[in-house]
């Protein structure tokens, strides 16, 4: 809690500058890790120098020359003779530097050399003078800190040294000593000194590893605690899939299940058969067939006399789910209801009453509606579709809303996402969930061809699009993403629509879909498209999630540079569902290298897992899954791409520790517990376990 002013060398002015870096207390300062290092340990003979990298050369001053190059301007050249050649150090407009050098004196010059004709040069190298017989000192690795205007790197280093000297000794270790020993981790004080001023690369690596490990370990510990709490404090009905129930459900599916659907169902059956709530994330690329897996879980609950709820992020998708269920369950006794914002009040009241009285077995709806208003008589399972649209917050809110079952049992949870999640992210963000993955897609899927359509090629694309429509195919046209309001989006859709009916798609039957339309209008638009009454659907990215019309094989995306990779992939997923190959044209005018890379990646592969990894590399995890939106504090030093191996280790160790000491109640673990609660208590809604 000590304010930074207590550190030697920090007066009110510097304290103010540090404040801009959000450094107020000494411990903020100590944990301001360098963003990079200047490595002066790379010693070279002059013939071995390479351009560009930071290197250090030992030599003797042979010549010093100060030349005026204009009014108030000069250049100082110092010629250093090494064992096998010469190197010239150059300083611009620093005449006073001349006095530092005498002929015959030994020096180390560190910098990035460049060859000028035959001579190597370094501009403004860092210099170290050596006495005649003094051996060169071991190389240094200097920290580079994030700075703010008015604060210089050397000042920051001096402040940091002073802070370390005075305060590092007071830092408390969070890990028990045996733990550090057993896992090869450096103690905090040693690690903290070394991360700021390492003696060697090796020391730096050890120090960094300790802090990266700690950061990831605390997160994994929080997730393990969370999962433990869920297991211990909540009970769910054990819903066993007897052979008879299993056969009855499978008979409903009009196709053979894929191997990974069978696998996922087996995992769900095992979970739901236990009296702890299932907490499972089902991930599978667009079109991999997640819905039937969900239907299985719901029917299993219904078979036991429990209710099931399926929540979708949009009304369009909720309706589609309801229709699919109508088809699958046409001859069954399962009582179903659709619950969305668009119902007329009387019907809505009736549905709510039916759910409360237990007269409805299976509810499909938008998450907002189910979450806020519904009381279930006996809820057995909740399926949340397209989880990437939901945050942890919503997940938690839902849980409390549905925990109203009179027998005080929690429902089982199945969360589905079509945004494939790189393993490291899944382990971090969803570490409290078990994971099932659909790797294969249903047989007979056709390839989708992707084209980046530049301005000049638009006419050709529309000619092609029209030709395919004449062959009997259907297509989507997605208007540019505006995202300011439904009204603006609607205008944008309208504009695209007008330009098409009066232009390249004249004479075809076009429909419209956007957020400004009423539920009935939306439903009618989807129905017309599904039946083929309209050939083209001009829409906003609301079709992004889950919409399934197998005859639609054409996709045009306007303003492609404004969509994220996951969104583009979702959109393309709409057209890989039938017997005909798909064609996806992206109109794009990328203004940044990142957008360019994103579009190239999108064109290069249809593998959603690969794309998710690329997305992750381009944007980082925060953006990808809304890290902040999930309420998780950002990492200080860990990087999930780079540190995947340490993450694995941390996760394993966290699990082991929680098995031994589930409440972190042992006095040795008190500090760990405190860190877990301070950092993640709120975000993960952890009850104090102690």
Which residues are at the interface with Mg ion (CB under 5 A)? 546
Give Cα 664 to chain centroid, integer Å: 29
Rounded least distance, CB 318 to Mg ion, Å = 11
Selection from ligand ADP, Mg ion, none that 342 binds (CB < 5 to 8 A by kind) is none
Joined tokens for residue 187: 């103690």
Joined tokens for residue 256: 């053979």
Distances (CA, A) of 559 to 1, 288, 457, 474, 482: 51, 27, 14, 21, 10
Q: Which residue, 212 or 286, is less far from ligand ADP as judged by CB?
A: 286
HEC string for 51-85: CCCCEEEEEEEEEEEEEEEECCEEEEEEEEEECCE
Rounded least distance, CB 336 to ligand ADP, Å = 18
Q: Which residue, 552 or 588, is less far from Mg ion as judged by CB?
A: 552
Selection from ligand ADP, Mg ion, none that 288 binds (CB < 5 to 8 A by kind) is ligand ADP
Rounded least distance, CB 568 to ligand ADP, Å = 15
Rounded least distance, CB 537 to ligand ADP, Å = 17
Q: Which residue, 89 or 284, is less far from ligand ADP as judged by CB?
A: 284
Cα dihedral angle (389, 610, 286, 317), rounded to 10 degrees? 20
Q: How many angstroms separate the CA atoms of 172 and 188, rounded?
A: 8
Rounded least distance, CB 291 to ligand ADP, Å = 3
Q: Which residue, 236 or 575, is less far from ligand ADP as judged by CB?
A: 575
CA-based torsion, 121, 122, 128, 134: positive or negative: negative
Q: Which residue, 290 or 336, is less far from ligand ADP as judged by CB?
A: 290
Q: Which residue, 577 or 651, is less far from ligand ADP as judged by CB?
A: 577
Selection from Mg ion, ligand ADP, none that 673 binds (CB < 5 to 8 A by kind) is none
User: CA-based angle 671:676:33, to the nearest 5?
Assistant: 85
Selection from Mg ion, ligand ADP, none that 608 binds (CB < 5 to 8 A by kind) is none
609: Cβ contacts below 8 Å, ≥ 6 apart: 285, 420, 422
Distances (CA, A) of 61 to 74, 104, 107: 20, 5, 7
Selection from ligand ADP, Mg ion, none that 585 binds (CB < 5 to 8 A by kind) is none
Selection from ligand ADP, Mg ion, none that 258 binds (CB < 5 to 8 A by kind) is ligand ADP
The DSSP line for 348-393 is HHHHHHHHHTT--SEEEEEHHHHHHH---SSEEEEEES-GGGS-HH
Rounded least distance, CB 339 to ligand ADP, Å = 20
Selection from Mg ion, ligand ADP, none that 286 binds (CB < 5 to 8 A by kind) is ligand ADP
143: enclosing H helix or E strand: strand 141-144
Rounded least distance, CB 261 to ligand ADP, Å = 6
Q: How many angstroms separate the CA atoms of 557 and 559, rounded?
A: 7
Distances (CA, A) of 502 to 27, 495, 649: 66, 11, 61
Q: Which residue, 215 or 267, is less far from ligand ADP as judged by CB?
A: 267
Rounded least distance, CB 291 to Mg ion, Å = 5
Q: Which of 105, 221, 104, 86 is closest to 664 using CA atoms?
A: 221
CA-based torsion, 245, 246, 247, 249: positive or negative: positive
The residue assigned the tokens 């040693």 is 190
Q: Which residue, 7 or 438, is less far from ligand ADP as judged by CB?
A: 438
Q: Which residue, 59 or 365, is less far from ligand ADP as judged by CB?
A: 365
In what order do the strands lie in the sheet containing 474-478? 448-453, 582-587, 552-557, 474-478, 536-539, 510-513
Q: Which of 145, 641, 597 is closest to 422 using CA atoms?
A: 641
Q: Which residue, 312 or 379, is less far from ligand ADP as judged by CB?
A: 312
Q: Which residue, 228 or 290, is less far from ligand ADP as judged by CB?
A: 290
Task: Check: CB of residue 297 under 8 Å from CB of residue 279.
Answer: no
628: Cβ contacts below 8 Å, ≥ 6 apart: 622, 634
Selection from ligand ADP, Mg ion, none that 255 binds (CB < 5 to 8 A by kind) is ligand ADP
Selection from ligand ADP, Mg ion, none that 548 binds (CB < 5 to 8 A by kind) is ligand ADP
Selection from ligand ADP, Mg ion, none that 389 binds (CB < 5 to 8 A by kind) is none
Helix residue ranges per DSSP H, 150-289: 153-167, 177-182, 188-196, 201-233, 243-250, 259-272
In what order do the strands lie in the sheet containing 336-339? 336-339, 362-366, 307-312, 379-384, 412-417, 279-284, 434-438
Q: How many angstroms separate the CA atoms of 410 and 234, rounded?
A: 6
Q: Which residue, 295 or 538, is less far from Mg ion as judged by CB?
A: 295
Distances (CA, A) of 537 to 495, 531, 542, 549: 14, 12, 11, 11
Selection from Mg ion, ligand ADP, none that 442 binds (CB < 5 to 8 A by kind) is ligand ADP
Rounded least distance, CB 426 to ligand ADP, Å = 17
Rounded least distance, CB 28 to Mg ion, Å = 46
Rounded least distance, CB 397 to ligand ADP, Å = 24
Q: Which residue, 291 or 371, is less far from ligand ADP as judged by CB?
A: 291
Residue 277 DSSP class: -
Rounded least distance, CB 294 to Mg ion, Å = 8
Selection from Mg ion, ligand ADP, none that 417 binds (CB < 5 to 8 A by kind) is none
Rounded least distance, CB 384 to ligand ADP, Å = 13
Joined tokens for residue 663: 């409440």
Q: Which residue, 87 or 299, is less far from ligand ADP as judged by CB?
A: 299
Rounded least distance, CB 475 to ligand ADP, Å = 18
Helix, strand, coil tally for the chain in percent (to 5): 45, 20, 35
* List of residues contacting ligand ADP (CB under 6 A): 255-258, 261, 284, 286-292, 418, 442, 546, 548, 577
Selection from ligand ADP, Mg ion, none that 358 binds (CB < 5 to 8 A by kind) is none
Q: Reduce the DSSP state of residue 460 to 3 states and report it.
A: helix
């Amino acid at each position: 809690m000590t304010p930074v002013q207590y550190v030697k060398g920090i007066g009110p002015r510097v304290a103010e500058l540090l404040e801009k870096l959000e450094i107020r207390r000494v411990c903020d300062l100590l944990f301001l890790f360098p963003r990079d290092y200047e490595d002066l340990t790379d010693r070279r003979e002059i013939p071995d120098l390479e351009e560009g990298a930071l290197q250090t050369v030992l030599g003797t001053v042979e010549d010093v020359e100060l030349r005026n190059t204009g009014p108030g301007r000069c250049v100082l050249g110092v010629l250093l003779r090494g064992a096998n050649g010469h190197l010239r150090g150059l300083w611009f407009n620093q005449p006073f530097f001349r006095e530092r050098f005498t002929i015959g004196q030994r020096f180390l010059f560190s910098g990035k050399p460049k060859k000028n004709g035959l001579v190597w040069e370094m501009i403004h190298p860092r210099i170290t003078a050596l006495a005649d017989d003094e051996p060169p000192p071991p190389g240094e690795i200097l920290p580079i800190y994030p700075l703010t205007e008015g604060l210089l790197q050397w000042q920051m280093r001096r402040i940091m040294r002073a802070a370390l000297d005075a305060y590092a000794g007071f830092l408390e270790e969070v890990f028990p000593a045996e733990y550090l020993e057993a896992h090869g981790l450096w103690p905090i004080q040693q690690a903290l000194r070394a991360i700021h001023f390492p003696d060697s690369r090796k020391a730096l690596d050890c120090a960094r590893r300790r802090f990266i490990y700690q950061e990831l370990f605390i997160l994994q510990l929080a997730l393990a605690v969370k999962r433990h709490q869920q297991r211990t404090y909540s009970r769910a009905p054990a819903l066993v899939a007897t052979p008879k129930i299993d056969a009855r459900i499978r008979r409903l599916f009009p196709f053979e299940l894929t191997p990974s659907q069978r696998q996922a169902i087996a995992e769900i059956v095992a979970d739901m058969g236990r009296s702890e709530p299932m907490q499972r994330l089902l991930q599978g690329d667009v079109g991999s067939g997640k819905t039937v897996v969900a239907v299985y879980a719901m029917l299993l609950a219904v078979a036991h006399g429990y209710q099931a709820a399926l929540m979708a992020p949009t009304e369009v998708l909720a309706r589609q789910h309801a229709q699919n269920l109508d088809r699958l369950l046409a001859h069954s006794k399962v009582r179903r209801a659709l619950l969305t914002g668009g119902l007329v009040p009387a019907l809505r009241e009736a549905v709510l009453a039916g759910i409360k009285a237990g007269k409805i077995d299976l509810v499909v709806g938008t998450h907002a509606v189910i979450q806020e208003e519904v009381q279930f008589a006996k809820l057995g399972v909740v399926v949340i579709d397209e989880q990437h649209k939901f945050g942890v917050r919503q997940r938690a809110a839902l849980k409390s809303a549905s925990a109203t079952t009179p027998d005080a049992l929690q429902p089982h949870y199945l969360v589905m996402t079509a945004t494939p999640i790189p393993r490291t992210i899944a382990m971090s963000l969803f570490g409290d969930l078990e994971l099932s993955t659909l790797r294969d897609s249903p047989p007979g899927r056709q390839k989708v061809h992707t084209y980046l359509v530049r301005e000049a090629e638009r006419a050709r694309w529309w000619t092609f699009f029209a030709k395919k429509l004449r062959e009997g195919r259907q297509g989507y046209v997605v208007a540019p993403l505006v995202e300011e309001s439904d009204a603006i989006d609607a205008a944008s859709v309208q504009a695209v629509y007008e330009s098409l009916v009066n232009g390249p798609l004249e004479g075809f039957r076009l429909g419209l879909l956007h957020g400004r339309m009423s539920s009935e209008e939306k439903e009618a638009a989807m129905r017309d498209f599904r039946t083929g009454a309209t050939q083209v659907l001009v829409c906003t990215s609301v079709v992004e999630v889950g919409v399934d019309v197998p005859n639609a094989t054409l996709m045009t995306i306007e303003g492609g540079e404004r969509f994220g990779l996951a969104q583009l992939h979702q959109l393309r997923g709409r057209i890989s569902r039938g017997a005909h190959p798909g064609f996806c044209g992206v109109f794009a005018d990328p203004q940044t290298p990142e957008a360019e890379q994103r579009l190239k990646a999108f064109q290069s592969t249809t593998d959603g897992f690969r794309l998710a990894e690329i997305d992750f590399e381009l944007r980082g995890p925060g953006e990808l899954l809304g890290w902040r939106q999930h309420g998780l504090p950002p990492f200080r030093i860990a990087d999930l791409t780079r540190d995947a191996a340490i993450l694995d280790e941390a996760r394993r160790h966290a699990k082991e520790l929680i098995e031994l000491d589930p409440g972190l109640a042992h006095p040795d673990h008190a500090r760990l517990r405190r860190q877990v609660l301070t950092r993640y208590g709120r975000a993960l809604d952890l009850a104090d376990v102690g």
